[in-house]
Amino acid sequence: MKILFFYCGEGLGHATRAIAAANALKADHDITLASYGYTRDFGINAGLDVKEVPSEIQLVGRSGQFDLSKSILTTISNSSKQPHGILKFNSLINKTKPDLVLSDSFFLPATLSKNKGIPTWMILNQTNIERFFYTNSKAFIRMAGPFIKRLNHSTLNQMDKLLIPDFSPPFTVCEESVSLTPELYEKTQYLGPLVRNLGRELKTKPKKKTVYSMIGGFGYRKQLLDKIVEASRELPDYHFDLVAGPNAKLGTHGKNVKTYTSLTNPLPLINESSLVIGGGGHSTAMEALALGKPVLAAPDAFHCEQECNADGLERIGAGRRIDYKTSTHTLKLLIEELSTSKEYKKRVTMLKHLAEKNDGRAELVRLVREFEKEQ
């Protein structure tokens, strides 16, 4: 069966889910992937053939904050390319002739596919994107909220399935970001974590007092990275793996710190760790929890989806929400708490076992197999 998989290029989390899905499906199906920008490159570096397509939105941040106004203006400034983009999407759809289209949070090609009568499934961890508008401080952006809500729900209502790559309730990390009408509820299914590897597939083994951090050393994030380095000096019996980016300038650190520019697949190191420090990305949380690791999550300020993920981790007892202004001493105490607490260990171990029982890859394969039989 031919499957065309579009994935959004705004954030690596969409790419990691696409990689997990493609590797699970490619043995039995002819699968074509499509994306743009650095997330397309990420898929290619993972060994997949990813076609290039235009973006539909562009998210912009500034000083540790998600800047919705600038994101809207940047997207509008690129809208002149949209007619050409629609032609390019249509060309790829017509050339591929898919039996099924999967889309990870990529709305325009999903709508075009559905309008061509092609069965289309949407993978996403947020259905209420209008929250970005309702919570904004600028009146003209808040006024756009109702229109965005209608447009968003109209698109989602067209989809044949909505697939949430998360634990089912009551352990859903993205629960606050998923608002379902009765119509959407009927077509929604929780896949389970859609991650590239589970612990049993990795050669590395968990180690005590080992911290994996993916806080970059650039812009607003550097202040938190500096505090992690300071905390490492106060925790000499801990080992720290820091993925800090290509131009990070770290302060003096001891032999208990190892730095990396970037990692295509960090899961072996995450599996070794006893704690993960990351942003508020949903896929980061899923990969950590599927390997049984608690998370210290530092969402971008005013990025409501990331903030909801961080709050979700706290709600299910699998992590704590921190801030880029969290003090070094507080950070040190939280590292010690989350990496040694029996309560956290018990909860994340349960979630790891749940992820192994409800493997999002296996569930997606099962759903596609059922769909194929019905055709």
Whether residue 172 is predicted with pLDDT greater than 50 in this model: the reply is: yes
pLDDT single digits (tens) 236-289? 999 999 998 877 777 778 899 999 988 889 999 999 999 999 999 999 999 999
Report CA-CA distances (Å) from 294 to 46, 303, 320: 26, 21, 8
Q: Do both 177 and 217 map to the same domain?
A: no
> Tokens representing 143?
């006024």
Number of domains in the chain: 2
Tokens 């993205």 found at: 174
What is the CB neighbour count within 10 angstroms for residue 209? 17
Q: Do both 221 and 104 map to the same domain?
A: no
Mean predicted lDDT score pLDDT of the chain: 88
Q: Which helix (H) or strand (E) holds 47?
A: none
Say what the pTM is: 0.88
What is the CB neighbour count within 10 angstroms for residue 194? 29
CA angle 168, 3, 290 (to 5 degrees): 30
To 10 degrees, the CA torsion angle through 60, 164, 262, 49? -100
76 vs 349, more confident? 349
**Distance separating alpha carbons of residues 104 and 247, to the nearest angstrom:** 30
Q: Do both 18 and 161 map to the same domain?
A: yes
* Rounded average pLDDT over 36-40: 92
3-state secondary structure of 373: helix
**Range with the lowest mean pLDDT among 55-69, 174-188, 322-336?**
55-69
**Distance separating alpha carbons of residues 114 and 22, to the nearest angstrom:** 21
Q: Do both 134 and 81 map to the same domain?
A: yes
To 10 degrees, the CA torsion angle through 31, 34, 35, 41? 70
242 φ, ψ to 5°? -115, 115
Q: Do both 232 and 347 map to the same domain?
A: yes
Q: Do both 220 and 346 map to the same domain?
A: yes
Read off the CATH number of the domain in which 36 is found.
3.40.50.2000
Q: Do both 292 and 237 map to the same domain?
A: yes
Between strands 100-104 and 65-66, the pairing is: unpaired
Q: Do both 364 and 351 map to the same domain?
A: no
**Distance separating alpha carbons of residues 291 and 267, to the nearest angstrom:** 8
What is the CB neighbour count within 10 angstroms for residue 99? 17
Whether residue 147 is predicted with pLDDT greater than 80 in this model: the reply is: no
Q: Do both 52 and 140 map to the same domain?
A: yes
DSSP 300: P
Please report the beta strands in the chain, taking only residues with DSSP state E, as ranges in sequence order. Answer: 2-7, 30-35, 50-52, 61-62, 65-66, 100-104, 120-123, 161-164, 188-190, 210-213, 239-243, 257-260, 275-278, 295-297, 319-321
Instruction: Give the list of residues 6+ apart from residue 275 with CB closer than 8 angstroms, or none.
Output: 210, 211, 212, 293, 294, 295, 296, 335, 338, 339
- Highest averaged pLDDT of the listed ranges 153-157, 270-274, 297-301: 270-274
Q: In b/e form, how buried is each residue of 265-287, taking b as 16+ CB within 10 angstroms?
A: ebbebbbbbbbbbbbbbbbbbbb
Give the residue numbers spanning the domain of 162. Answer: 2-192+360-374
